[in-house]
Structure 1
């Protein structure tokens, strides 16, 4: 029978993802988090309902992200028609990224208190309105003010979609969902300058922002009629006789070979007598590394949810759930909390900053955005200069390269990451999964990112053929999806119960790093030159990504040493009614 109180000795992030059976170590995926018996539980949604929700999150990401990147290919045009220098224009985008992070401290708590749906709608509508202003700016002060407001109202795009994806996907498929978000984020960032270049040549740079306003307005209409609230208080019912979690029949049929019997999972690792000595050693090693005497206890249901009801299947009459009607799904108040806890939600991210795992994930995410900003900040400068002399439309076309590479890298970062997590759990011989298992995928980023930075910057210094530059540009831009996916899944896998608060810290760190680089990118390139600048970028990229090797060993130590601190926070916030 699963315990109904939090196990404070459980290591956050460690889970038994695979229930192994037989000598061939073939097993069944364990659903984490455990779904309830309510059809309105986002984990129980039908494929059509779930993918509609995913599509709405991606539409929001696309519409809000495009205005933040559309101006990159037309910066020379803006400089010519205004009194704003290229350095000031880049500094303005730096302020925008800074407030994209700061805004999370405001809108993320609001999303938890009042629901994600109203925050999404306000964000996309406000972005539409703000996009009308920049074409009328004539001074550096106006430009910076418009960028600050755009960053503030659009800040939800930085952290809220990751949480929505974690609401909709189980642990073994979470990387795929987050990679979809990362892919959309990168495609919007790269395709926006592509389209903007043609708009600028045909209609003037002012229409770049006005079309962004129209796009966001259309997106607002789509989200209003199709986006559904994913805030949900999950309550699990467990059979007192068998320890089996009661789920809806449609979910059991849909998932097929899914394990929901808690006793079966908990007894699994004890039956190893028939396994070879090599596999028994793997089991012993994994248990030793977990930091607990018996890591099977890490799957306690009470650590996942606060509401667990023990029922007698012989006398229990399941509640007659009625799915929400279409108009109920459009409600703007269905996700709000009954108690006013906004001040607690606002304070929680600062408390999550105590965890090194969260800090490192923010550093990893931030470092990837640094290279992204260096690329965007120099693309127009390099390609419009000698000997290439690209027009605005040609610079825009160049952004097709990172778009194509982003799609290619999506399959490595998303699908392969989920596959790797499951395979490592099986390889251990116990089905034990650790959040660090996904980080091995960063080897690809380390090698390709370093090579791409050298090809782009050093190639520009030696004036190589434009194809070499475009290839390097695409490779460097496309690799960014690795850091987006790895950092987000690492945090969500580790601190799923407080993932919303943790992601605010990650985004704050990321955007502060982005702001610093955007503010100084022009001087960095000017003072060092393309060659030295991008050699330093290449090896900084390599060093930043290779820190995952440190986290492979330090991560489990940090998670184990801070387990009591974390579960005490979870227990406190659950008693307050926050989660």
Structure 2
């Protein structure tokens, strides 16, 4: 398969566009985004269907994931997106069933929420082990292994006879599912070009965000009409199903740029192996487990991840962990009614947000590059697409809080968290795409920072949300959280205008440059 015929690029469009090779793909600055100064010199660039250089440039190796046929890229995207959906699904399906769970273990519903909190916390920690292993031995074997861990631990949660047994299995479940968020984002970055990445990341994040919203729907019915234990059995069954699908359909996407091409007439089948695909010269070192913390020192990653973590916690996790208590208290809802109200409201909001988010960020990048003679890339262009989300997120919070405080019909708080989820989908799509554009080779580590922040900030919600609302009133709680959201948004505004200067001053990470 010829790589210059993929993605709508034919011989005529790829042509003989000659540029100065050094300035085209410099290893400094924005890494892959250094396509500048189109001088008629040495290297032939492959172009997309609009005539702009493909970023990153695909190799001539048929095993290069960038050269995979488009149908396979979409299949990979759907598989890792479904896996991302299963992460929060493992953790959140039981949320509407806190009442029967609490009754069985003779604890309060607030204490019952701690088992979700524990799973969320360890889902933020486990990826620090999986990412270095995956960067050496491959994404595919690690995803298969951790999917089995998730399935076994979820099944164990359903079988738990004591509270301590349940907590132990939830720890394992968090560790297993932690790879779903980080390695999946890495596989999206491995296979899609820059001009496709916004929409691809948007699909990935809409599955990730919507998982916690879909989970309460079956969870509510299972908790009410069958048993809370089936809120754990269902994710276990889905995990095992996904394991089988990936075993036969998910190829390895880890690929070192510049590696020696492998001569084979079945490049895709070769990438289905479970071992033997370790990049040449790549060996696991103890320093690999420390190296991944380097991304925390880059302000554009750390501060956007903090804003994302705060808004995701307030917009997605807060409704998830409070609705069982509040809807039962205010509207006398049972588990299935709570699940439907929570699930449908947030699902509609997130889906509409993705329809806007992914298209806008890709279109803005295209117009920015098209307006420049050299087709150069400024990742900060993506950040302009965040404004709608940043404005609507605190508005949704206020609607939710005031409707809870003044006991409006249930449609009031449902609309509130629907608006919040619309906003957080835009925010997450923009920030994932922006950071990936800035540091593409470190995409798994970036996803790791964002996942760690989301999980660690989010895991605290069960400890303070109900207590804070009851103490100061849910309207004042909403005002406080809305102000926190706005304050944490300030650095994002700064990056819109000075992000490139800050990144140039910080330099680029010195590892994974060939990924």
TM exceeding 0.5:
yes
Distance 1:469 1:37, change over 3 A: same
Which residue is 2:5 aligned to? Answer: none
Task: State the number of aligned residues.
Answer: 484
CA drift of 1:85 comes to: 2.3
| Aligned-partner Cα distance in 2 for 1:322–1:8 | 32
Q: Cα deviations across residues 361-411 of structure 1 (Å, max 9, x unaligned)?
A: 32122113211221112111221112x111111111111121112111102
- Given that 1:183 and 1:406 are in contact with CA atoms closer than 8 Å, whether structure 2 keeps it comes out as yes
- Given that 1:19 and 1:27 are in contact with CA atoms closer than 8 Å, whether structure 2 keeps it comes out as no
Residues 292-371 of structure 1 correspond to what in structure 2 (within 5 A)?
322-324=265-267, 326=269, 328-338=270-280, 339-371=282-314
Q: Cα deviations across residues 99-136 of structure 1 (Å, max 9, x unaligned)?
A: 11110110111111111111111111111111122234
| Aligned-partner Cα distance in 2 for 1:173–1:127 | 31
Gaps of 5+ in 2: 1-19, 40-48
Which residue is 1:458 aligned to? Answer: 402
CA drift of 1:68 comes to: 1.3
CA drift of 1:4 comes to: 10
Are residue 508 (structure 1) and residue 508 (structure 2) matched? no
Residues 231-246 of structure 1 correspond to what in structure 2 (within 5 A)?
231-235=254-258
Distance 1:466 1:332, change over 3 A: same
Are residue 558 (structure 1) and residue 498 (structure 2) matched? no
Which residue is 2:6 aligned to? Answer: none
| Aligned-partner Cα distance in 2 for 1:200–1:17 | 58
Paired residue secondary structure (1:360): helix
Distance 1:490 1:525, change over 3 A: same
How well do the aligned residues superpose, as a CA RMSD in angstroms? 2.7
Which residue is 2:203 aligned to? Answer: 180
Paired residue secondary structure (2:54): coil
- Given that 1:366 and 1:509 are in contact with CA atoms closer than 8 Å, whether structure 2 keeps it comes out as yes
| Aligned-partner Cα distance in 1 for 2:408–2:374 | 53
| Aligned-partner Cα distance in 2 for 1:45–1:466 | 48
| Aligned-partner Cα distance in 1 for 2:262–2:437 | 31
Are residue 414 (structure 1) and residue 358 (structure 2) matched? yes
Are residue 467 (structure 1) and residue 377 (structure 2) matched? no
Which moved further from structure 2: 509-518 or 363-372?
509-518
| Aligned-partner Cα distance in 2 for 1:140–1:457 | 32
Distance 1:202 1:86, change over 3 A: closer
Paired residue secondary structure (1:465): coil
Paired residue secondary structure (1:36): coil
Gaps of 5+ in 1: 21-25, 236-306, 310-317
| Aligned-partner Cα distance in 1 for 2:392–2:123 | 28
- Give the structure, 1 or 2, with the largest relative contact order (CA under 8 Å, sep 6 or more): 1
Q: Cα deviations across residues 534-564 of structure 1 (Å, max 9, x unaligned)?
A: 121223223333432112133222111122x
| Aligned-partner Cα distance in 1 for 2:112–2:36 | 48
Distance 1:29 1:511, change over 3 A: same
| Aligned-partner Cα distance in 2 for 1:441–1:70 | 32
User: Which TM-score applies when normalising by structure 2?
Assistant: 0.87
Which residue is 1:539 aligned to? Answer: 483
Which residue is 1:260 aligned to? Answer: none
Are residue 133 (structure 1) and residue 156 (structure 2) matched? yes
Are residue 480 (structure 1) and residue 424 (structure 2) matched? yes
Distance 1:83 1:14, change over 3 A: same
Residues 11-22 of structure 1 correspond to what in structure 2 (within 5 A)?
11-12=30-31, 14-16=33-35
Which moved further from structure 2: 189-198 or 131-140?
131-140
| Aligned-partner Cα distance in 2 for 1:52–1:180 | 12
Which residue is 2:8 aligned to? Answer: none
Which residue is 2:22 aligned to? Answer: 3
Which residue is 2:236 aligned to? Answer: 213
- Given that 1:61 and 1:157 are in contact with CA atoms closer than 8 Å, whether structure 2 keeps it comes out as yes
Which residue is 1:282 aligned to? Answer: none
Distance 1:392 1:488, change over 3 A: same
Larger Rg: 1
| Aligned-partner Cα distance in 1 for 2:398–2:307 | 20
